[in-house]
Structure 1
Amino acid sequence: MDTVILVVVVVLGLVFSYTNGFHDAASAVASAISTRALPPRAALALAAAGNLAGALLSAGVAVTVAKGIIAPPGGDKGMAVLFAALTGAILWNLMTWYFAVPSSSSQSLIGGMVGAGLASGITVYWRSGVVDAVLLPMVISPLIGFGGGYLLMIAALWIFRRANPHRTERGFRIAQIFSAASLAVGHGLQDAQKSMGIIVLALVTADRRHGFEVPLWVVLVCAAAMAAGTFSGGWRIMRTLGRRIFPLRPQHGFIAEATSSIVLYLTAYFIAAPISTTQVITSSVMGVGSTRRFSAVRWSVAREIVIAWVLTLPAAAAVAAAVYALTALISPG
């Protein structure tokens, strides 16, 4: 029976990774598609390959998720906590995807872990885990994305101020293929590891593994699930990111993707913080759009996205807590 429960939780982890892929596929390829730097299927294939490659490059974020958010739960209670956490995260991902809101899969998973942990009485590492490792990086990273996108766009406008506009745009369209690939790798470097972390936590909880090192098979299956989800597409959210916030041109897309890539790589390698790819690329798009004129950005759409960001963690936590309570009611033992 313990093995069955473990398998269910691992499968749920892979389902979350899949939903993360199609939910956040827009993060890596929306701007490249909207500027016609890449056709949709080629862009999705590139994103899927980048996600797979990024997942193999580091495991720092996975370790943070596995041991830094909640105390390792034990026994059947622990597996119920992980089941509830993943269920809450998946349901929030599906709901925001349905309404075409580019919310954070990272926050939904962390929120699910916190909500299930609180409902079960398991210790939540508020200061070192939730605040320092999650909330602060998730607040600061979009601000860096916005500021970096704005400043790099200003620099690009000044550097190419006398260049031929058509030739410049053609060059940026080609360059955007590489920036989209870089962002896809950064997405895999960040988001695939969150599923890895919770699967490792499940293995530790079930006494199938000692320590929080990530086995290669976990890396491969999580990366494959995310790549499959990415290739299945996320067309609803792509339209929001690629067109509704700001009508992107190749130069805007390249700068936004380059800025986001830098933020993702720095946070993954230097502080192993699980930040949101969606938040970083969205704020970068807002930053580059603001250089045209402040009113060029559709701030009403941006406001809806920010509200979703704020609601994601507590909403996923509430769903996970409710799932845990229902699970405890059905199986009180």
Structure 2
Amino acid sequence: MKLYALLPFGLLLTACTDSVPTPVVPAPTFSLTVTVTGAVSAPVTVTNTTTNKVEFTGALGGSKTFAALPKDTVLKVEGAAVNSFVTPAPQTIQLDADKTVTLSYSPVPSAKLPKGDIRLSQGVGQYIFADQDAAGQKLDLIGRHVENQVAKYTLLAQTTVAPNLSFTFPEVDAAKLSLSPLLQRLGDVAALPDSCKGTSIMSDPEVRLLLETETEIDGDTISGHINLAVVTLDQPDRPLKFAYADRAGTLKTDVVCTVQISETQSFEFRALYDLDFKKGWNLVEVIEPRQQVNPTAIMRSVPMPNTVRLRPSGMYAVGGSWGGSAPPMDVLKTHTKGMFF
């Protein structure tokens, strides 16, 4: 009787044991944290190379964590270019644990002023001197900007011409640079004024520049201070100027603007700009309008060589005037023809 009574209970235990499901052990997962340093934010792409799926693409500032990624997933983390920063190399990692990838953006080094030499004999007409007259003389780099419609001149750097007529400017103190928006005389940097028609494409409206500089011999043994043009060795007849940009940027402009002289008088001028600035010092060619009817102003970037040459530009600078508010008249006459800068 006892065995008979226990049989149903034993069968019941067996049945219950067989119906319990085996627990499912979840596959291991890990997280990936991506951190951007140096730049405020950067375009970042995270790609799962195992499945070719893009896990993330967009601007990333600070850090972002991607959780619950399968173990052994292979991920490629890429940071795209950020203006004025060096782009870090892509990184590929395998998730065998929680991982962190740091994209470190470092500032692009500012382009330096090149070394050079002086040839006073390569002037024109009365502006030809003996080359050796430059040896031992002070060489000035002067910046020009406008405050309240008055031209101001600042000595940016000074060096002494070596006996072999070479020179090297010291690094310019950034505090001395009076930088201005790229299109300050057009009004709103994001759009052309109503008086101008055409196209103007700017890569970064925040670019600030010092576009007008002069180089001159600051000596007493030569008659007055001699204004010098910057030229490249392969194109000695193409006068250039040093310009400074606080970041990289481009400007492509072809516009025609109307300038109202009075209620009944106006004239048009054309501006053609093809500028491609690196952060730091650059070379630009400025071609002032020469024709009286529909004048055209041209400004374009020129690649910076390792060595430049200075030669008389064809005008004297007024000695010592860079330190005051009254500009050298020959310099002022040249630059007031430009309408944008």
Q: TM-score range by the shorter chain?
A: under 0.3
Higher helix share: 1
RCO (CA 8 Å, sep 6+): is it higher in 1 or 2?
A: 1
Give 1 or 2 for the bigger CA radius of gyration.
2
TM-score by length of structure 2 reads 0.22
TM-score by length of structure 1 reads 0.22
Higher strand share: 2
